[in-house]
Amino acid sequence: MFRDAWLIAGKDLRIEMRSRVGLNQIVPFAVTVLVLFAFALDTDQEALRTYAPGLFWVTVLLASLLAIGRSFAVDLADGAADRLLLSGIDPISVFGGKAAAIAVQLVVLEVLLGAGVVLLFDVTVHRYGLLVCAGLAAAAGVATAGTLYGALVAGLGVRETLLPLLLLPVVAPVLIGATRAFQDAFGVAGAEGWAWLGLLAGFAAIYGVFGALSYGALLEEA
Amino acid sequence: MTHVGYLIAGWSISVAAVVAYAGWVLVRGRSLSRRVPENRRRWMMPDD
Amino acid sequence: MTTATTESTGSSEGIPATTSSKATKVLGWLTLGGFAVLVALAFAWVPEDTRITEQGDVVGQFDAVRLMFVHVPSAILAYTGFGLTFLASLAYLRWRTDWWDMMAHASAEIGVLFGVLTLVTGSIWGRPTWQTWWEWGDVRLVTTLVMVLVFIGYLAVRRIPADVAVKARRSAVIALVGAVNIVIVNRSVDWWENRTLHQQSTLIARKIRDETLFTLSFSFAVGMVLFAWLLLHRFRTAYLQSQIEELEVNEALAERRAEAGIDESPGGRP
Amino acid sequence: MESAVRLRAAVTLLGRFPALAGVDLDISPGEIVLLKGPNGAGKTTLLRLCAGLCTLSTGQGWVLGHDLSSERRMVRRRVALLGHRTGLYDDLTVAENVGFWARAAGAGRQDVDEAMERLSLTGRLADTRVARLSAGQRRRASIASLVVRRPELWLLDEPHAGLDQQTRDTVDALVRGAAAAGATVVLATHELERIAVLEPRVVSVVGGVVRGDDPPDSQSPNSPSDAEDDRRVS
């Protein structure tokens, strides 16, 4: 099971490294969104610093929609999705593999965007441990929920517009939790960062289990 | 009576929305019913 | 609430082409009558909400309290609709029958209708009493909003032209995830900023007057009858839709067989 | 001995369109069956149904002994379907693609090398990204990633369409090889003469229905008995 998940994740990541869609399109898109936020907030350095955590996570969520959509588009492009069904790989492994690949991409995105936030919005990090853990847990949560919803809308023909509508309300708790944790880590508000980390981890766990259990039912048909 | 504007707005929006929805369902039900033979509309059948 | 238990006697001039039956007619008149009584109770019988403080000031919601009788039942019906969708989706995944799928669809649609009404009437009520149209820190408000959004997405999936079984299965999973999500959102918003403006369990604390309490209970009853009436009609519409689709498939099947040169007329889907 | 494919009044709906309108078909293990019929007759859907990728709306069906309505996952891992689409990832090389599908099927390094060799995908071609291949090369890579699975039932949908001479010969060799190894082959093609040397059983599909064998079935040696019929249906 883990071997197959590893195989799927490796395949997805290798494709992303080769195609460079993430590096050439998704990351620039995310940075553009950050810059637009700065314009919208009228170069008020203090406001930017205060809202940096929220802006950061809104940006990550928007960019994650692209990464999730792409993960499924790659399989659907030339019939590989059918072959995956025919390969006999356990759906749980497919779910795990795809979610892991998306999570890795999100972590890379977070690192790059985090650097952007530190540079552009002039924030200072106070608690590195919390920052790293919250980043990882949030990436896992978005990746598991995103993979589940990506599969839900894959092949329905309208996924580009449907995925945001379905996924964004569902990941709202991640936005709340991750923003609070980052506020604590950046020292802009005295939130209980570690408690919020618990929420993020719980979210990832629930969607991980739920996705793994229902993925087979979703893939059963063609 | 105070807050008359709020009261009228709240009650009338609720009534209007429910009436509009119910009307839509009824009209749709009628037009669909005409396209389905009687023996497939079980709730209108006499007891058998 | 099966269609089989709501049969009416057939009229001599053929069966009318509607989704009505004896049961829905009774429910319909009950709703109309109940609503008339509710309006009378809410506006003539229930006194305005006032209290006199120790300093002698008159405070309270005054007549705005009469919005309670549309807002609270709307919220109850919305949650009833979504709860029913959740149960029907679970039942669909277990037994895979169209009946449960149609039930989930019908109740989700009604749930969204009342969910939106809950938000709108709540906003209208909130303005005079809380001095705000919207309060982000309020748990119930934000939870309801997210829930309505999730089920609007659910209905969007249902509107996609796709294979019936595929759509039913995917919708059912969305409803289940949506229900789980409601709990997570509720908990996280509660943590996020627990400064709820809602009254905490006013019914139990007996802080409201008996007239108000009775009228509120009465509005629940009227709401439930309305819900049953809407659900029956909406379910039957969905049923008719599926029947039409089945007829069309049979027709297409016969055509296809004719194309193959098979003359025997197929007696419907085997 | 159970049949490789057994369909009884199989109906498959694509949306509301009955692509298959009641198919009865028996295919014995080791048979080579050629599906012929006009475009839109339902050949592709029939092959996808046998692969467990389409649902059985009504009727019954078994492939390699597995029920098509309840055991499709078992069916899927034992068949190979070569469809119109290649099932390859454009951004990976030929070797990576074949390697991925081989590992997904639990095949080893040896199988990959053998398959690549057989479909002449060696040398520089192996390390070329699929996006840069010609249509014929893509098809060969697609076939290689199926060969590594050692399927018991081959389902080939227009395997010759739009290909160069070399690839067409490769396809013919594949069918011969599969038949020689004892696998069952079902293929839909317009190029009857290429396959004729293999003396396949020809089944004509029209309007979503199998119209009987043509020419008359050459008495299949291991057609299932009636007793087995009853047991399976019950």
Q: What is the pLDDT of residues D192-226, one digit of tens each?
A: 777 777 788 888 888 888 876 654 444 444 434 33
CA D31 to chain A, closest CA, distance in angstroms equals 22
CA distances D164 to C33, D137, D168, D171, D178, Å, are: 79, 9, 6, 11, 21
Q: Report the alpha-carbon distance of residue D232 to residue D11 in Å, rounded.
A: 19
pLDDT of residue A109: 94
Q: What is the mean pLDDT of residues D51-78?
A: 89
pLDDT of residue D200: 84
pLDDT of residue C68: 86
Query: ipTM of this model?
Result: 0.81
Cα-to-chain-centroid distance, residue D168 = 16
pLDDT of residue D100: 94
Q: Which two tokens stand for residue D95?
A: 């070797």
Candidates D125, D145, D166; CA nearest to D85 is D145
What percent of chain D stands above pLDDT 90?
Answer: 31
Band the pLDDT of C262: cuts 50, 70, 90: low
Taking only the tens place, the pLDDT of each residue in A13-47 is 999 999 888 888 889 999 899 888 888 887 677 88
Three-state DSSP class for C265? coil
Residue A168's domain comprises 2-221
Q: Indicate the helix (H) or strand (E) that contains C50.
A: strand C49-52
Q: Which two tokens stand for residue D201?
A: 């059983």
Number of domains in chain A: 1
Give the residue on A whose Cα is nearest the Cα of D14.
A222
Contact A148, C177 (CB under 8 A): yes
Does A77 contact chain D (CB < 8 Å)? yes
Give the residue on A whose Cα is nearest the Cα of D91.
A15
Taking only the tens place, the pLDDT of each residue in C195-224 is 555 655 454 444 667 788 888 899 999 999
pLDDT of residue C270: 40
- The domain spans of chain C are 19-50+60-252
pLDDT of residue D222: 40
| Low-confidence spans in chain B with pLDDT less than 50 | 45-48
Are B and A neighbours with ≥3 CB pairs closer than 8 A? no
Q: Report the alpha-carbon distance of residue A198 to residue A204 in Å, rounded.
A: 10
Q: What is the mean pLDDT of residues D97-120?
A: 89
Which comes out higher in pLDDT, residue C48 or D8? Answer: D8
> Alpha-carbon Rg of chain C, whole angstroms?
23
Q: Indicate the helix (H) or strand (E) that contains C59.
A: strand C58-62
| Interface contact flag, C240 B2, Cβ < 8 Å | no
pLDDT of residue C132: 78
Residues 174-233 of C with CB under 8 A from A: 174, 176-178, 180-181, 184-185, 187-189, 191-192
pLDDT of residue B1: 66
What residues of C are in contact with residue A206 (Cβ under 8 Å)? 180, 184
User: What is the average pLDDT score of chain C?
Assistant: 81
Does C245 contact chain B (CB < 8 Å)? no
Shortest CB distance from A152 goes to which of C173, C180, C187?
Answer: C173
pLDDT of residue B43: 64
Taking only the tens place, the pLDDT of each residue in C11-64 is 434 567 777 888 888 899 999 999 999 988 888 887 777 766 677 776 667 777
Interface test mutation site (partner C, options A57, A95, A156, max chain C beta carbons within 10 A): A156
CA distances A36 to A29, A30, A109, C248, Å, are: 11, 10, 18, 52
What percent of chain B stands above pLDDT 90?
Answer: 38
The chains found to touch D (3+ Cβ pairs under 8 angstroms) are A, C
pLDDT of residue C226: 96
Q: Which two tokens stand for residue A176?
A: 């709340």
Could you tell me the mean pLDDT of each successive run of 10 residues in chain A, 222 residues long? 90 91 87 87 78 92 93 90 88 94 95 89 85 94 95 78 90 90 83 82 93 82 52
pLDDT of residue A144: 96
Interface test mutation site (partner C, options A176, A207, A215, max chain C beta carbons within 10 A): A176
Does C44 contact chain B (CB < 8 Å)? no
Q: Report the alpha-carbon distance of residue A87 to residue A89 in Å, rounded.
A: 5
Q: Which residues of D touch C (CB under 8 A)?
A: 9, 11, 13-18, 21-22, 55, 57-59, 206-209, 211
pLDDT of residue C208: 66
Q: Report the alpha-carbon distance of residue D181 to residue D175 in Å, rounded.
A: 10
Residue D14's CB is within 10 A of a number of other CB atoms, namely 16
Band the pLDDT of C74: cuts 50, 70, 90: very high
pLDDT of residue D73: 85
Taking only the tens place, the pLDDT of each residue in C103-160 is 999 999 999 999 999 999 988 888 887 777 777 767 778 888 989 999 999 999 998 8
What percent of chain C stands above pLDDT 70?
Answer: 80
Contact D16, C249 (CB under 8 A): yes
